[in-house]
Structure 1
Amino acid sequence: MTELRRFEACGVLITGAARGIGAATARRLAEEGAQVLVTDVDLGEAERTAASIRELGARAEAFVCDVGERASVEAAVAHAVDTFGSLDVLVNNAYGCTPDAPLFEDEPDEVWARDLDLTLTGAYRCSRAALPHLVASGRGAIVGIGSVNGLQDFGNHAYSAAKAGLVSLTRTLAGHAAPRGVRVNLVVPGTVRTTAWEGRDVDLELVSELYPLGRVGEPEDIAAAVAFLASPDAAWITGTTLCVDGGLLAVNTGFRQAVRRRDGA
């Protein structure tokens, strides 16, 4: 457990927090003193995550939240405020990602709409509902979870477009919220070892070769970045997009490897 206590008595709501990056973030913030509402459409898994946090001696509750439904989002925000006395941090982690059709022209409207609604509009719904409470807390922060897909081509048309939209929403909302004392930032992960890659260890091993730091990310890598941006340590940071991607976007590893092969290295 970390010895930092940057979130003592803070109320935190995290979407899509039953597993993966969301669960790791819930644990990290709880370890630093936060009271965490673990929200997800899967209440059973959310409760298991919350229970594991309570075993650490921290406070956590589970609550159903479908970011695709305004009423569900508003109920989750209200529950966090009623339960913890304030809402100080919102982490927009929930998303939708549907595999692409083989041909772009065969993509159904429903798939496009669903991925954008859950990933981009869901973050909008949550931020809209939470913002007045974050303002009232006097130390409010929103941290979104983006993706390298929103900055470069890695496939998944709708998901990537939605994640790119989060980059823009982060900037515009940061500008709006700054005079009201709320900071808004975005973490952009590369490949992270989550349940989305379950049973694909060989693929992860191959992908890791593309990362300058020699490995894919772990959920805890992303949780640490979220904790920083949500904390007072980032008190003068807003509207930023922080890549936590093992150097993937900064270094063209494939090109470097091709040059070394050409040179016989």
Structure 2
Amino acid sequence: MTTDTGRFAGYGVLITGAARGIGAATATRFAEEGARVLVADADPEAGERTAAALRDRGLTVEAVACDVRDQASVEAAVAHAVHAFGTVDVLVNNAAHCTPDAPRFEDQAEEDWAADLDVTLTGAYRCCRAALAHLEASCRGAIVTVGSVNGLQDFGNHAYSAAKAGLVSLTRTLAGHAGPRGVRVNLVAPGTIRTRAWEGRDDDLVAVSEVYPLRRIGEPEDIAAAVTFLASRDAAWITGTTLTVDGGVTAVNHGFRRALDHTGR
């Protein structure tokens, strides 16, 4: 079943990397607001657990195995959504891969660089390519990609950051192409979010929170709220934009402030 009310009543939504973290929170938010949601993830067991938990609440959520590195897998996921829901109105590109940097840039393995770009940037390209005609046919299509502040400033992780920066550019260029087809394309750039990448690092999260003007790190639900806003008709005249959802961290130069504090100026 699904709800008959809510911003996304009757919508079909496909979310990649939706088994955990930001993806799972986004699936939950869409489903709670009436959407029929397909949880697409390279870990099908985890994806099914997320979908089953939402179905237990009476929400319409299905899961499918999807490896965004493989065009056939992506196309199968899109076809599953169309078959199950009759439409794909929203695509959320959330799948990503992040390889830790080598101590020296020149020691980074080329295969690690390629893996980050293949999943994070090219994976989103594959999903957009597979879904675009269906999004156009829905007459209310929207693509929302989950980027990162890493694509805007230096927070480390060379390959991941380059891939996320590429997503910012793809958002702009695809918005120009897709706009006349009735499809909006936007990106959310999160700051530090409490996900499994930070498991066991509570002290690090406390320390990191101090550089955020709002004095906390983000939660997956913070990003889900931004994604659903950009996908909704409330954002009907917004396309090609990058929305930073980062507690203000990219707005403040803490190094500069500390330097001035040190000099007493």
Alpha-carbon offset, residue 52 of structure 1: 1.6
Q: CA offsets per residue over residues 164-218 of structure 1, 9 Å max, x none?
A: 0000000000000000000000000000000010000000000000000000000
Q: Indicate the residue corresponding to 1:152 in structure 2.
A: 153
CA distance in 2 between counterparts of 1:5 and 1:190 reads: 28
Alpha-carbon offset, residue 50 of structure 1: 0.6
* SS at structure 2 position matched to 1:143: strand
Q: Indicate the residue corresponding to 2:13 in structure 1.
A: 12
CA distance in 2 between counterparts of 1:261 and 1:98 reads: 35
Q: Indicate the residue corresponding to 1:64 in structure 2.
A: 65
Correspondence 1:81-230 to 2 at 5 A: 81-230=82-231
Q: CA offsets per residue over residues 23-59 of structure 1, 9 Å max, x none?
A: 0000000000000000101111101111121122210
* SS at structure 1 position matched to 2:250: coil
Alpha-carbon offset, residue 250 of structure 1: 0.6
Q: Which amino acid aligns with 1:46?
A: G
Q: Which amino acid aligns with 2:221?
A: E
TM-score, normalised relative to structure 1: 0.96
Q: Is the Cα contact below 8 Å between 1:212 and 1:253 reproduced in 2?
A: no
* SS at structure 1 position matched to 2:251: coil
CA distance in 1 between counterparts of 2:261 and 2:216 reads: 20
Q: Is the Cα contact below 8 Å between 1:64 and 1:76 reproduced in 2?
A: yes
* SS at structure 2 position matched to 1:249: helix
CA distance in 2 between counterparts of 1:252 and 1:217 reads: 19
Correspondence 1:36-51 to 2 at 5 A: 36-51=37-52
Q: CA offsets per residue over residues 122-174 of structure 1, 9 Å max, x none?
A: 00000000000000001000000000100111111110000000000000000
Alpha-carbon offset, residue 262 of structure 1: 4.5
Alpha-carbon offset, residue 253 of structure 1: 3.0
Can you give the 5+ residue segments of structure 2 that lack an aligned partner in the other structure? Answer: none
Alpha-carbon offset, residue 252 of structure 1: 1.7
CA distance in 2 between counterparts of 1:65 and 1:155 reads: 28
Alpha-carbon offset, residue 251 of structure 1: 1.2
CA distance in 1 between counterparts of 2:222 and 2:170 reads: 23
Can you give the 5+ residue segments of structure 1 that lack an aligned partner in the other structure? Answer: none
How many pairs align? Answer: 261
Displacement over 3 Å in runs of 4+: 257-264
* SS at structure 1 position matched to 2:163: helix
Q: Which amino acid aligns with 1:70?
A: Q
Q: Indicate the residue corresponding to 1:52 in structure 2.
A: 53
Alpha-carbon offset, residue 260 of structure 1: 3.7
Identity %: 74
Q: Is the Cα contact below 8 Å between 1:211 and 1:253 reproduced in 2?
A: no
CA distance in 1 between counterparts of 2:262 and 2:207 reads: 18
Q: Is the Cα contact below 8 Å between 1:210 and 1:254 reproduced in 2?
A: no
TM-score, normalised relative to structure 2: 0.96
